[in-house]
Structure 1
Amino acid sequence: MSITQRAAVTAEHLVEEFATLGAPSRAGVSRGAARAFYARFGTTDAWQWAPLAEQLDAQSRCGRFVTWLIVTGRLRPSADYLLACKGRLAPIGDEVHPELSAQFALTAEQLGFAPVIARRQWSALLHISALTATAPTRLSAEHIGDALAQFRAAGERLGRPDLRNMSANVFGLQAVLFHLGVLDSLPARGNGRDGRRAADWARISEHAPELAATITSYLEQMSVRLRPNSVTAIDSSLRIFAGYLLHEHPDVRRVADVRRDHVQGYKTWLAARPGNRGSQLANQTVRGRLSALITFFARLDELAIDDAPPRSPIGRNDLPIKEHPLPRFIDDAAAAKLLTATRADPDPFTRTAVELLARTGMRSGELLGLTTDAVVQIGSAFWLRVPLGKLHTDRYVPLHPQLKELLDHWLTHRGEVARTNLLFIEKGRRITPSRLATALQSVANEAGIGHVHPHQLRHTLATQAINRGMSLEAIAALLGHKSLSMTLVYARIADRAVAEEYFAVSEKVEALYDQPRQLPADAEGSEMAKLRREAHRRMLGNGYCARPVELDCHFESICEACTFFVTTIEFRPTLQRQRDDAEAKGQKKRQQIFDGLLNRLDEPAS
């Protein structure tokens, strides 16, 4: 049999196979469309190589047959054709893949997608499958990304650059495919930063390949021990520095070429850069960028990276002085309004998430990382297991019965989704921080209290707790702090005992206006003295000292005797009093320590 004869047999076989598709009453129409295709193009290869205009012109006579060939994988269309013809692959896809179509629709419905949206997702799946010549059940995230890139390029060529609807359908499609078991991970909505990051490194690599290679090697080492978000922050800092060198000092091609003057210029340039919410970058942002550089240069030798300058061109003295702003919290009246608006909100996620943040002090990332088994019962009480978060620790926090009821209601609303144990999901996808922030701001607006950020609820709970007598140790455990120094910042905000002491002492201060006498310098109320003693004992690293302040201690001068102890002339009066106290008590060794410190202060500065 000749090639022509074999092609004719194949064509006739396809005509008859297509004629059996759908209702028997349509068999004649189907044969007519298929034969019209072969009469015009002769073979499928001829259609494949035909100009786009000719392919589109054949749509009216044989478009259904072409669609069937595309869905069954016998034709591989271009992205231009799929966009231009506005072909509806879904009906043919239902007939070619009936079981997959039914499973897809059911899963999409279970995830909460409207039927019309699920239909568009099914059509997008068939388009991507056709464009990548891959069966729908064998698609990967790479296939989907490649197809989207081709569609965007085709949109530019055809004058249809806005394909946001297609991107949205594909994003939802990926969630459905994950829960069907086709994809291995839930989709993450991109913000364009990955593309910008890749473009920046490509530009740096083109002009300074050794510089880019050294930084890339360092980032690979850091990725072994740090969380992805931390590595991303370091990547951003080093990429910005490399971009500055590329623009301002094009002669720098390697890390070994970086000198002190380069860093000094970079500091000035960085400090003048505009930030997202103001005219300049925040102090903490500048410190973070420069700290990443300090660590980078310091660890080059440790990681055995040869491309390194003779000495580090940057040190800790290059960091701007760290600011210590007080945590921004919501006062009690505003917090009450916020929770009232939250409990009245119709959105179950808003009601659950905002109240959890306000009453447990969780970070937003910890909240969104909760799993369906996070609630545990210990004895008669319920506890919430907070997952590993910012400080690489997990913890249990007590769960109020009202919060337990909210979580039970959310689990019912969430439904059974077999392939993920994340507690907070919507339409099969992990809820994003921006969705949480939007939900919180919505109820804040309803309450009329202005802008509120999720982390402010953490500060608010800590402030409310410390002002109502909760110990610093308990607050540190609740918030997951590693050290009390992190918790002590809340003691600076509005301590109730400080307020009581202030009003008690203020009466004595007011007397100064009536009588020509001064308030004694040692005027101190009982509660203030108690606070001072508690603050002193908390400074011990692994416990606290129960010694009454009236008793002597052989180690009370242990810090002054340390070789690392440093003092200055401003402390001379205190040192003199301590020296005199030791002499009065007959503590010769303690007296010698303070004599030495005082003598050292009298020596001229070298």
Structure 2
Amino acid sequence: MSTITRATTPGVEQLDAFVADYILAGATEAARKCRRLGVIGFRRAFGDLDGWNHAPGAARRQVRTEVASFAAHAAVATGLQVDPAFVVTSCCRWGSYVRQAYPAQHALFMSQAADLGFCTKEIGRMWTHLSRIAVIAGTSPAALTPEQYTAARTTFFEHTVARHGGNVPHRSLSTPLFGLDAVMFHRGQAPAPDKRRRWLHTRAAQIDWKHISAGTPVLASTMRRYLDQCALSLRPSSVALFDTTLRQFAGYLLTHHPGVTAAAHVDREHIEGYKTWLAQRPGYRGKPGLSKPTLGMRMGHLRSFFTRIIEWDYDDAPARVPVYATDRPRLDRPLPKFLDDAQAAAFMNAARDLPDPLDRLIVQVLARTGMRRGELLGLTIDAVVQIGTGYWLRTPVGKLHTDRYIPLHPHVKDLIDDWLAHRASWQSSDLLLLDRGRPIPATRVDKAVHKTAAAAGLGHVHPHQLRHTLATQAINRGMSLEAIAALLGHHDLSMTMVYARIGDRTVADQYFKVTQKIESLYAATQPASTPVTLPAEAAGPAMRAVHAEASKRLLGNGYCARPIELDCRYETICESCTMFFTTIEHRPTIQAQRDDATAKGQTRRAEVYDALLQRLEDTPA
């Protein structure tokens, strides 16, 4: 357990000075008499604060109420570091004693916690715990440093857990401490708070490095060295995933193959056993079996681990990589799921009626910008930028290590302005989305979307579906793939082309427009031998554009992104070649090509065809 360095016990003179003030603070003569008796009883039983603080806890708890009250008041007023076990187990009202000693600090804390959105009942519990932490540290709440707060809080938490037999009382302890961490961070007296209560428990399948080092020190050393190197070039979130996989694999080896004490001892048998064990673990929300993406991720992490330690010439490395590429399951690649127009309209109508302003902001930003969930969580308070007369939203560096500007819908701009207007200006974090002073987790975004979908009468809707919906709506209404790629932050058009496959409205409209004309021809009475010829306008302008794009812009191994109005020096590359040969029989075709180039203003292309025509005139054979 953590310990707190004990300060010097207050002297007799300091205690005597406090006694006079303590007795005079009684509201009535009866109260002052009771306090005087408490002082007398305290001196008779303990002598001074040093004797009281070092007396057995049972002896301190058995004294009369007025004696215990004086001792607690004196400890708070003199800044005495009280034994953590006594602070946790005693019935002293530490929150009341600290409030009476520091009324201004209490008022400021109440005001700041309320600014962050906590209710009065929650703030009262947080103040009680903060008072106990301050008493353990031997100082006032306002004088706590981040180091003192962390040490005293850990000590208080551990003693409380021990008092309850190792079980954490969630409602009375974890919830107030969870909120207190956020308030103290913004006050500059605590480190940045975690998004979740990770200090409450550890998953049984993920043992810590302390146990791994005790059982397999060589393997632990190799894995930790590998993770340290990964931390220099990868994101913390990626390193955290690698860390989980390696701890999980090491825990499996400790349990099922205790003889494997180094990475060099791992062979194919151990990988196959781990893969089978992993596949049998419960999956998402208790479903039987892990999903293919999760299983593939774990095996991919292990393959990277063994490949790299071999390439990096680690002493503790196997002769060959025991994890094969085929160990990763082949994943399905279904089309992105999106909301059709009717569903999207119902969803957005439900979003406008959400009672929680944070839910409204989350859903509207996702739906109207097509941002990824991680990008939304990383938005800062200065993300809105005015360029010219319009407003743009600057996304943080996200999944593809790039940032971008997104045109901001006026309604979303109003929501962000309103959110910032109600934000406490003294907070230390510059993140836009904070819930009671704490960065919101990804699950908070999921819940907002699920809540909106339920209100709209839809089924399960994931935040990323809103991104797919925006892209599908855009391509169905004529937005170019280049513009969609810029909006979504894609590296290349290959990522955006998937939305061309699901842009079904444009295809369907053109299909039914053409099939109506075709059906009318089928209905006409004609001899079976007579060929059916459709007029040129039957294709429609959109389908003619598709045909032109497919025939001119589609290459053998990709696509040409050149705008149609621009010339291309390679368009007549064959005709410009010295090995090119033509005869008079091709003159009509060359003449038509020359006329087409002239009509389009492609002078370079026209000159090539002019030269070919002149060559035919000079040498018709």
One-letter amino acid matched to 1:38: R
- Secondary structure of residue in 2 paired with 1:410: helix
Could you say what the CA RMSD is over the residues aligned between the two structures, in angstroms? 3.6
Counterpart of 2:599 in structure 1 is: none
In 2 relative to 1, CA 273–91 (structure 1 residues): closer, same or farther, beyond 3 Å?
closer
Counterpart of 2:404 in structure 1 is: 395
Counterpart of 1:428 in structure 2 is: 437
Deviation digits for residues 200-248 of structure 1 (CA, Å, limit 9, x no counterpart): 4333222211111111111111111111111111112222222222233
In 2 relative to 1, CA 340–286 (structure 1 residues): closer, same or farther, beyond 3 Å?
same
What is the aligned counterpart of 1:95 among 91, 100, 107?
A: 100
Equivalent residues in 2 for 1:48-87 (5 A)? 48-72=53-77, 75-87=80-92
One-letter amino acid matched to 1:177: M
In 2 relative to 1, CA 64–553 (structure 1 residues): closer, same or farther, beyond 3 Å?
same
In 2 relative to 1, CA 533–249 (structure 1 residues): closer, same or farther, beyond 3 Å?
farther
One-letter amino acid matched to 2:179: G
Counterpart of 1:532 in structure 2 is: 550
Is 1:462 paired with 2:448? Answer: no
- Give the Cα separation in 1 of the matches to 2:428 and 2:556: 47
Equivalent residues in 2 for 1:132-151 (5 A)? 132-133=137-138, 135-136=140-141, 137-138=144-145, 139-151=148-160
Deviation digits for residues 271-320 of structure 1 (CA, Å, limit 9, x no counterpart): 33331153222222122111111211111144442211111112323322
Deviation of 1:38 (Å): 1.8
What is the aligned counterpart of 1:305 among 307, 314, 319?
A: 314
- Give the Cα separation in 2 of the matches to 1:89 and 1:296: 52
Counterpart of 1:241 in structure 2 is: 249
- Give the Cα separation in 1 of the matches to 2:77 and 2:59: 22
Counterpart of 2:172 in structure 1 is: 165
In 2 relative to 1, CA 488–538 (structure 1 residues): closer, same or farther, beyond 3 Å?
farther
In 2 relative to 1, CA 411–292 (structure 1 residues): closer, same or farther, beyond 3 Å?
same
- Secondary structure of residue in 1 paired with 2:422: helix
In 2 relative to 1, CA 490–143 (structure 1 residues): closer, same or farther, beyond 3 Å?
farther
Indicate conservation of the 8 Å contact 1:271/1:281, yes or no.
yes
More displaced, 357-366 or 450-459? 450-459
More displaced, 420-429 or 128-137? 128-137
Indicate conservation of the 8 Å contact 2:207/2:251, yes or no.
no
Identity %: 40
Indicate conservation of the 8 Å contact 1:364/1:455, yes or no.
yes
Counterpart of 2:136 in structure 1 is: 131
What is the aligned counterpart of 1:174 among 176, 181, 184?
A: 181
Indicate conservation of the 8 Å contact 2:137/2:149, yes or no.
no
Deviation of 1:14 (Å): 4.8
More displaced, 305-314 or 530-539? 530-539
Is 1:250 paired with 2:272? Answer: no
Deviation digits for residues 122-160 of structure 1 (CA, Å, limit 9, x no counterpart): 221111122344553223334323321221112227xx8
Counterpart of 1:295 in structure 2 is: 304
Indicate conservation of the 8 Å contact 1:353/1:436, yes or no.
yes
Deviation of 1:426 (Å): 2.7
One-letter amino acid matched to 1:101: H
Deviation digits for residues 388-423 of structure 1 (CA, Å, limit 9, x no counterpart): 122221111001112111111111222423422221
- Give the Cα separation in 2 of the matches to 1:218 and 1:455: 33
- Give the Cα separation in 2 of the matches to 1:7 and 1:411: 51
Equivalent residues in 2 for 1:4-15 (5 A)? 12-15=16-19
Counterpart of 1:261 in structure 2 is: 269
What is the aligned counterpart of 2:22 among 18, 25, 29?
A: 18
Equivalent residues in 2 for 1:26-65 (5 A)? 26-65=31-70
In 2 relative to 1, CA 516–373 (structure 1 residues): closer, same or farther, beyond 3 Å?
farther
Unmatched runs of 5 consecutive residues or more in structure 1: 1-5, 556-606
- Give the Cα separation in 1 of the matches to 2:275 and 2:177: 43
Indicate conservation of the 8 Å contact 2:89/2:163, yes or no.
no
One-letter amino acid matched to 2:238: S
What is the aligned counterpart of 2:387 among 371, 374, 378?
A: 378
Deviation digits for residues 500-519 of structure 1 (CA, Å, limit 9, x no counterpart): 45546767799999989999
- Give the Cα separation in 2 of the matches to 1:112 and 1:413: 10
Q: TM (normalized to structure 2)? A: 0.79
Indicate conservation of the 8 Å contact 2:367/2:466, yes or no.
yes
- Secondary structure of residue in 2 paired with 1:104: helix
Is 1:316 paired with 2:316? Answer: no
In 2 relative to 1, CA 280–68 (structure 1 residues): closer, same or farther, beyond 3 Å?
same
- Secondary structure of residue in 1 paired with 2:232: helix
Deviation of 1:387 (Å): 1.0
Q: TM (normalized to structure 1)? A: 0.80
- Give the Cα separation in 2 of the matches to 1:538 and 1:126: 74
One-letter amino acid matched to 1:529: H
- Secondary structure of residue in 1 paired with 2:407: strand
Deviation digits for residues 171-222 of structure 1 (CA, Å, limit 9, x no counterpart): 2222222222222424532246973487443332222111111111111111
Equivalent residues in 2 for 1:329-348 (5 A)? 329-348=338-357
Indicate conservation of the 8 Å contact 2:553/2:559, yes or no.
no
Paired residues, number: 546
One-letter amino acid matched to 1:19: I
